[in-house]
Structure 1
Amino acid sequence: MKRVSNASLKLGCKTNATNLSFVSMSKLRIALTTGDVDGIGFEVTAKALHHLGPQKNVQFILWRVDGADSRYLKLIDKKWTRITVDSLEEALKIEGPYLIDIASDLSPAEWVEISAKACLQKKIDGIATAPLSKTSIKEAGFKDLGHTDILKRLSKVKHVNMGFVGEKFNVVLATAHVPISKISKSLNFTVLAEALKNADGLRKKLPPAQSKKPIGVLGLNPHAGEKGLIGNEELLLFPQLLNFAKENKIPMEGPLVPDAAFFESNWKRYSVYLTLYHDQGLIPFKMIHGQDSGVHISLGIPFVRTSVDHGTAKDIFGKNIANPHSMIDSIRWAIKLARL
């Protein structure tokens, strides 16, 4: 069943496809998944869509729970003609400058999986995702730990890295959700080389002034190991990695001393920081950028996926105080990358 709504049409008005006046096909289709139903995902996505308004040659497909907060639907309708359907299959039949709104009874994890499969089948051009908790993924029956693991499984790609683009600096994580006790064992030349390749792919997509700068690779240990006095991972890994970078014409510097790498004076020195574990990169990134900017980009998969750089924030669910800036930037980056 299709329902059409905008500022001049009654919400929930039912119509048939034959009653819709279509125009030429949009060049890009971007799916927006709104994450946990008791998180801020739908709020920030609605606010982002209201802020951005319709984008030239782009059609958005919005996944949200059936019965979502009506105040955010009304906010969307101030800028958009919204057509509500029940499935992605039905959404893909609709052409034109509409926001296609999927009111779904599936789990949020399934929205991501279905959208990713559609990307792989070239039916849509990218995904921008709101936060999805690991608990929600598990409750859906998935074995994956997060968005990245879902995308890795579906893409059948072994090395996928989390990249974060911010106003001040950019970060790529060599490893993701690995316990601190297992980080050293998870690092080897192949892992770092593949992460460096993915970081270089991000570097090349940055504006020219940034893309000309090297990738700064952090050491693992305090003081980057002090030539083996505080751990030997740097001595074992970096000579080979530097040779790999030279052979592949990847501009790289490292190992950088972790506690000094993110001094403000270094932000403009590097195009991207490649950090060796999750918190080594995300603590400074989130401390500096907060919720005002920051986009998560999945690197290494064969399609575009961007996301916010924050969590579900269930403590402020329903309070209408969530900051949409990261979602706004995420959608903009999804469009930008899909057009490259």
Structure 2
Amino acid sequence: MKVKEKIKVGITIGDLNGIGGEIILKTFEDSRMLDFCTPVIYASVKTMSHLKKHFGFNVNFNGINTIDKVVHGKLNVFNAWNEKVNIEFGKESPKAGELAIKSLKLAVQHLKEGAIDTLVTAPINKHNIQSNEFQFPGHTDYLAQELEGNSLMFMVTDALKVGLLTDHVPVKEVTNHITAKRIQEKLHIIHKSLQQDFKVRKPKIAVLGINPHIGDNGVIGKEDDEVLRPTLEALREKGMLVFGPYAADSFFGSNNYKNFDAIVASYHDQGLIPFKTLSFGNGVNYTAGLNKVRTSPDHGTAYEIAGKGEADENSFKQAVFTAIKIFKNREEHQALTENPLKTNQKKI
């Protein structure tokens, strides 16, 4: 019988002047990681060898120029470029941004083609990636264009999952983006993701209010009463277990979040501040709602410690494990959906 190949995890290098290369190599310096997946790093053997020497890592690379040359049981490096790169740790540079996007585009192309199974992205600098060819605030918006589905930023650990109604939107524009349609779309994405990606049969979802104190009956804003409450009520009438809105300031401090499978925040900092406070270093940024699986660590380029060997790789390692887990859960969910009698047949 043919042994099933390990899941191929595509890994983008991110900003070379940040900590991306370090956390990738720290993760795969542990050869046991190769028992769980087959990694493909999108950079170049020259670049990765330079990083290996700089940090003194004990790793070996299998350099490839075509994706069909991937070898299972090896740390594969796809040569996305052949030029010698001058890495300047801790500095923002247009060249680092250019190479980060080159890495990303190649990896996404292979992901769309099915040549790799999942994608894990190292941190980028949202400023130096901007060009005439790439005008997106970050990974999530680009992936939303390239892959099928409707994307949602979903910050996850085993114990805490926080989704966002709006992500990289200026605070002054948040309420303009929160419409009944958007609320319904995002909650349906989270509901489906909890079922197919995290194996939660009947998800319980909490929704945080838009304004302080949920608007205080209109004194501090009417959006909660006029948009959020009626939309949640309509979803409840359709059978979805959504609760709230809850006042955001006390929700996490009171441990109320532990009663739900996921929490939905209205805007970026409302959700990510408590998430990172409770889970920093263990959290994973997952792009839910798309037809492919993409994860990333819960931190940025960390220029202030780049090149010093001080970066903690745990969040990146968790991003790899989460991508693998979600990919497997989706396969199982699809199999059960196509053949709902499968579980019963096994018991006979």
Taking structure 2 as the reference length, what is the TM-score of the superposition? 0.81
Q: In the alignment, which of 118, 124, 128 is matched to residue 126 of structure 1?
A: 118
Q: CA–CA distance in 1 between the matches of 2:207 and 2:255? A: 16
| 1:286 maps to 2:276 | yes
**Residue of structure 2 in register with 1:215 after alignment:** 205
Query: Deviation at 1:103?
Result: 3.9
Change (3 A) 1:156 1:96: closer
Unpaired runs of 5+ in structure 2? 82-97, 330-348
Q: CA–CA distance in 2 between the matches of 1:72 and 1:52? A: 20
Whether the 8 Å CA contact 2:9–2:40 is kept in 1: the answer is yes
The alignment's C-alpha RMSD in Å is: 2.3
Q: CA–CA distance in 2 between the matches of 1:333 and 1:116? A: 18
**Residue of structure 1 in register with 2:291 after alignment:** 302
**Residue of structure 1 in register with 2:176 after alignment:** 185
Q: CA–CA distance in 1 between the matches of 2:75 and 2:52? A: 16
Q: Which amino acid aligns with 1:304?
A: V
**Residue of structure 1 in register with 2:340 after alignment:** none
| 1:146 maps to 2:125 | no
Query: Deviation at 1:73?
Result: 8.0
Which is further off, 143-152 or 264-273? 264-273
Q: In the alignment, which of 136, 142, 167 is matched to residue 128 of structure 2?
A: 136
Whether the 8 Å CA contact 1:84–1:100 is kept in 2: the answer is yes
Q: Which amino acid aligns with 1:309?
A: D
Deviation sequence 1:217-269 (CA, Å, 0-9, x none): 01100101122222111112234322442355321111110101112521311
Whether the 8 Å CA contact 1:67–1:103 is kept in 2: the answer is no
SS of the residue corresponding to residue 285 of structure 2 reads strand
Q: CA–CA distance in 1 between the matches of 2:102 and 2:133? A: 10
SS of the residue corresponding to residue 107 of structure 1 reads helix
Q: In the alignment, which of 104, 129, 145 is matched to residue 80 of structure 2?
A: 104
Deviation sequence 1:87-114 (CA, Å, 0-9, x none): xxx1333343222112433711122222
Q: CA–CA distance in 1 between the matches of 2:25 and 2:99? A: 19
Query: Deviation at 1:55?
Result: 3.7
Query: Deviation at 1:284?
Result: 1.1
Q: Which amino acid aligns with 1:109?
A: I
| 1:47 maps to 2:26 | yes
**Aligned-residue identity in percent:** 28
Whether the 8 Å CA contact 1:219–1:254 is kept in 2: the answer is yes
Q: CA–CA distance in 2 between the matches of 1:164 and 1:248? A: 26
Deviation sequence 1:97-153 (CA, Å, 0-9, x none): 222112433711122222222222222111011101112321584111100111011
Change (3 A) 1:94 1:173: same
Query: Deviation at 1:207?
Result: 5.9
Whether the 8 Å CA contact 1:44–1:327 is kept in 2: the answer is yes
Q: In the alignment, which of 113, 135, 155 is matched to residue 147 of structure 2?
A: 155
SS of the residue corresponding to residue 136 of structure 1 reads coil
Q: CA–CA distance in 2 between the matches of 1:140 and 1:168? A: 41
| 1:67 maps to 2:43 | no
**Residue of structure 2 in register with 1:19 after alignment:** none
**Residue of structure 2 in register with 1:114 after alignment:** 106
Taking structure 1 as the reference length, what is the TM-score of the superposition? 0.83
Q: CA–CA distance in 2 between the matches of 1:52 and 1:226? A: 55
Whether the 8 Å CA contact 2:22–2:55 is kept in 1: the answer is no
Q: In the alignment, which of 166, 171, 193 is matched to residue 175 of structure 1?
A: 166
**Residue of structure 1 in register with 2:226 after alignment:** 236
**How many pairs align?**
308
Change (3 A) 1:128 1:264: farther
SS of the residue corresponding to residue 129 of structure 2 reads helix
Change (3 A) 1:76 1:331: farther
